[in-house]
Structure 1
Amino acid sequence: MRRTTVVAIAAALSATLAVAGCSSSDSDSKSAKKQAAPQADGQSINAHPVSDLKQGGSLRFAIDQWITQYNVNQVDGQQGDGADLAGAILPDLFDADAKGIGHPNPNFVASAKVTSTSPQVVTYKLNPKAKWSDGKPLSWKDFHAQWKALNGRDKAYEAADTTGYDQISKVEQGADAHAVKITFSTPYADWQRLFDPLYPAGYIDTPKKFNTGWTQKAPVTGAAFKVGTYDKTGQTVTLVPDPKWWGNKPSLASIVYRVLDTSANTEAYLNKEVDDAPAIQPEDYKRLAKDPDTDIRRGARWDEVHITLNGGRGPLKDVRVRNALQAATDRKGINASFAKDLSFELKPLNNHFYMPNQQGYQDNTSEFDKFDPEKAKKLLDEAGWKDQGEGKPRTKDGKKLTLDYILSAGGISSTTDQAELVQQMYAAVGVRVEIKKVPANDYFNKFVNLGNFDLASFRNVDESYTSKIYPVFQQPQGKNLFQNFGSVGSPKIDDLMKKAGEATDHAEAVKLYNQADVEIWKLGHSIELYQRPQIIAVRKGLANYGATGLADTDYTKVGWLKKQ
């Protein structure tokens, strides 16, 4: 499973606070020499052969909110916990390794490869044993229905991302009932990310089924696990092994997802209510690392922390105001605070598409992204917002320059710390920021996903296929924001990203993505802060799980060791 897009409130912090994980010696020492950041394939999962695992036991997770949409391809289905759960109960056609490279999952796909380049044709040979929980075999019809829903031609389908699907001209049966032939109108280098997970044709083949047929539940499954119970009162969803599963039998007897406020994760872990917990904040790390039954596992994940600027409403519609906020943000101060006690170096994040430890990364920041309050003031002057003196918000046409900063009430204290720091920074240039906390279950569905905010901070994660992040910067179409919740984009950015997605030469694709990134910075789409380290507390006896880095987790191989 892979977490997609907005999965959690970003841990971002006041420059006056000590924030992060641990020293390189896992002590409280502040003088320990920092190590280099983990490589792109860095991970720590306590790898063991399945023969070392005992049969049975439960794996318990904390999730941020009740899952309302199990169709991850629908606009409300991009919340990461729901995407994780969907990945455990639906066909996962490709599994990413530690370097983020996808490989066919033999449980579903015997082979998948490009069989023609002009035009580009991809042929899948499906595992004949693979079936949906309603008894129907996986077939080309499932691929066809998913393409129809996601190619962008029928606007009644509320698609979160049409990238790649809109380049397909035809989906048809291949040489036999277990073969699928997909023809592209233009080349698409990241074709492996499509149809993953796969959904059953009979449950997404109309806009109504696609948009609402997966709300609050998954009507059909097709993997090693199925949903055992939905307990909305207890705020838990429990997965159990599907006895009809044709692959290797999973070791776990259940996987339980439980809604918890982020601030309660550490306490729940120490009380043995959940089996992993973030250990990135110093107060959490110190408590978790002392627990004798705990491993601290670290890895390098595609995980960026940023502040989204909503250019779809109010004062931020003016690019000069967005640029002013960029100049008024002390990114280095925030990052230095966060990195203070980390065991490895934390580099500034100056790219929207690539992480600092990835090939293709380069600094694309604009003239506005160097901390310069005087430049911010000048930009606001040019935008017509008049200075009213120290401590007072600027005004224009009788209106005060006031922005809201939306936070989840279930978030950790550091999210408030960051918001308060931003509030102070912007106040210094005449922008009033009002911090507004909203219920955790509403944060994405009623605010972020609808563009109902001025400022918001969350994370985009696991975008190892670069084209996968296209909808974050794609121009919205009508009410469909895709994942560009701040509605900041341009035809030029769309064109560059489209060309990058069509480029089969990797070097050319990297060049085009970086050209698009230059424009994204200039437009003030979002303020990138840092690549969030992966530091997780995990029960010692849990194998093949933890800080996976760029890799997917195979839950048929996760379990508890026989000997601990």
Structure 2
Amino acid sequence: MRARLALPIALVAAVSVAATACDASSGKDGAGAAGKDTPKAASAAADYNPVPYDRIKDGGTYTTAGTFDEQGNPFNVNATLTASRVWSWYNADAITYSPTGEVQYNPDYYSDVKVAVEGGRQKVTLTINEKAVFNDGTPIDWTAIEATWKANNGSDKAFDASSTDGYDQISSVHKGANAKQAVIEFKGVNASWTTLFTTFLHPKAATVANFNKAYVKKAHPEWGAGPYTVGEWDTHSGGITFVRNPKWWGKKGKLDKRVYVNLESTAAVNAFKNGQLDYTSVGAAESLKQVKGLKGTEIRSGGSPFEYSLYFNTKSANLADTAVRKAIQESIDRSQIAKIQFQGLDYKEPLPGSAVLYSFQKGYQDNVSAVLKYSPDEAKKTLDAAGWKPGGDGIRVKDGKKLEVGYTILGDEPLDKAVAGAFTAMLKPVGVKLVTKKADSADFSKILSERRFDLFLSGNRSMDPFGARYLCDFYCSDRDSNITGSGTPELDKEIRATADIADLDEQIAAANKVERKALQQYAFLPLFSGPSTYSVKKGLANVGATIFYSPLPETVGWEK
């Protein structure tokens, strides 16, 4: 599962716009690495204080900043990372991955898993734990797997599904030896099938109306299952409290309470300093400085399966022209954006070259550099050739229309302003006027789903290691998750063909090849990943920089 971030940009540094503008038009090549001493790959380190279940004490509360999402169903196209995180505290976590991506089956849900391939077709048999039951008393059986498949396979367009990939390769889901066994038959072979059923829907949640609307600013604990359930869901304050679930049949949750308090990022750092929070993200140099050395706390930092990219709305007036999009990308010095992001963090990484794989993963290739070079001179030639002539004020004009492009930022953070200033300074010399537009953080989902932007910086987090399967989400022209609106039916066909390749290595090689074509739509520009850095109260177990690992809720708690 790929999840969009709940905020468009992690606060990683605070630099003045003036300083940024001075740096922005340096003539260095921004297509490659951000400096000579830049490592060849981003960090793959995990740092989360792994502690075995029996060494975690019973009781206690774990409190962080956070709130529920507008859309709380993680299978829905409008859901973000927030939805996935909140969901996992009161719904099934049936399959997880280790930090490096190995598959882990949770026996409290799937007591046995068998995978067979006969005649080029894959069959997966899931045996569901005899005791497994939804909170409303409905047994968890093969119908939950079937309902999840039907809602997400794309056969009924009324479902606002985030991704049909993989689900559309299943020909049937049926009952096995008994109702507690689900048999999943594929049309071919799916190397990353585990990503499809890491969690599942209650059959009642899988009607069109409920799938699309039931979880909008609402929780449905009765349709959930797991060691915790909803104690309080305050739509006024945005706060959430999870408590132990008396109907849970598996390993008991170690915590008495898991609490989310609705706070902005700067307020969260202050709340952590005051002892009100047990954990906070400190991606920004300023935030890190404030919490470093705080008594009873420690910094946990490691690799990151996050990537932040610049999205181009190909349906907006001036960005409908491929030449304009290409020129803008040629004008952006990505290494300068990375410097702004990582200032004061003592962190370096190569510039990202793919939407779907990270530089620390096997098979990764720098597809961006293969199709794009930072060159303001080339950008000018691209615009000249497309008929955009420099105007008297330096802004290019075509058919009496000025080349003005909007850049939408959420909130009032100094870093966001600094990045906007950098983009403005980079585009001005080539004749593009960037107009910064401010929007409310609460409108994030609407801005994306309704394409209320020209340029927008947003992030994605990989919830699993199988990046190649998400190619369509980013680049297919008929996919709602492709918020740029770019692509062609011909390209869609090539992208979808990669999903039918059984061998993972071959699939990744094919995905790299197709991604290079897709990047030539010039609608999407990967900018940076960055480290995952957190300040944590000492003794908090199984929390921090986990890469692909999502610790089971029952294993989170305080060391004995």
Partner of 1:6: 5
CA distance in 2, matches of 1:404, 1:38: 31
Going from structure 1 to structure 2, the CA distance change for 1:36 and 1:264 (only over 3 Å counts) comes to farther
Note if 1:548 corresponds to 2:526.
no
Corresponding residue number in structure 1 for 2:334: 331
AA aligned opposite 2:519? W
* CA distance in 2: counterparts of 1:494 and 1:160, whole angstroms: 17
Could you tell me which of 555, 558, 561 is aligned with 2:556? 558
Matches within 5 A, 1:8-407: 8-11=7-10, 16=19, 39-40=43-44, 42-63=45-66, 66-77=68-79, 79-118=80-119, 119-204=121-206, 206-219=207-220, 220-365=223-368, 369-389=372-392, 392-407=394-409
Once the two structures are superposed, the pairs formed by residues 392-541 of structure 1 within 5 Å of their partners are: 392-409=394-411, 412-443=413-444, 445-463=445-463, 464-477=465-478, 481-541=479-539
Q: 1:466 to 1:279 in 2, by over 3 A?
A: same
Residue 467 and residue 381 in structure 1: after superposition, are their counterparts in 2 closer, same or farther (change >3 A)?
same
Contact 1:163–1:470 (CA<8 Å) still a contact in 2? no
> In structure 1, what is the Cα distance between the partners aligned to 2:236 and 2:343?
41
| 1:496 counterpart SS class | helix
How far off its partner does 1:218 sit?
Answer: 2.7
The 2-side partners of 1:35 and 1:215 are apart by 43
CA RMSD of superposed structures (Å): 2.3
CA change 1:368–1:378 in 2 (3 A) is farther
Is the 8 Å Cα contact of residues 328 and 373 (structure 1) preserved in structure 2?
A: yes
Q: In structure 2, the residue corresponding to 1:355 is in which secondary structure?
A: coil
Q: Residue 24 of structure 1 aligns with which residue?
A: none
- Taking the aligned partners of 2:189 and 2:514, their CA distance within structure 1 comes to 19
Deviates more, 1:46-55 or 1:373-382: 46-55
Q: Out of 360-369 and 100-109, give the one that drifted further.
A: 360-369
Matched position secondary structure for 2:395 = coil
> Unaligned stretches of 5+ in structure 2?
23-36
SS in 2 for 1:527: strand
Distance 1:34 1:56, change over 3 A: farther
Per-residue displacement from partner, 1:56-78 (whole Å, max 9, x unpaired)? 22212223x6422221111222x
Q: Residue type matched to 2:492 in 1?
A: D
Aligned residues: 538
Summarize the Cα distance change of 1:299–1:282 in structure 2 as closer, same or farther, 3 Å threshold: same
**Is the 1:36–1:344 Cα contact (8 Å) retained in structure 2?**
no
Larger deviation, residues 485-494 vs 123-132: 485-494
Kept in 1, the 8 Å contact 2:285–2:345? The answer is no
> Which secondary structure state, in structure 2, belongs to the residue aligned with residue 532 of structure 1?
coil
**1:278-314 deviations in whole A, cap 9, x for unaligned?**
2222111111113112211012121112111111221
- Residues in 2 aligned to 1:146 and 1:527: alpha-carbon distance in whole angstroms: 32
Equivalent residue of 2:406, what SS?
Answer: strand
Query: 506-515 or 6-15, which moves further after superposition?
Result: 6-15
Give the match's secondary structure for 1:170: strand
TM normalised by structure 1 equals: 0.90
1:368, CA displacement in angstroms? 6.0
TM-score (norm 2): 0.91
Q: Percent identity?
A: 30
Aligned partners of 1:106, 1:202: CA distance in 2, in Å? Answer: 24
Tell me the CA shift for residue 161 of structure 1: 0.7
* Offset, 1:164: 0.5
DSSP-derived class of the 1:240 partner: strand
Distance 1:400-1:66 versus aligned 2 partners, 3 A rule: farther
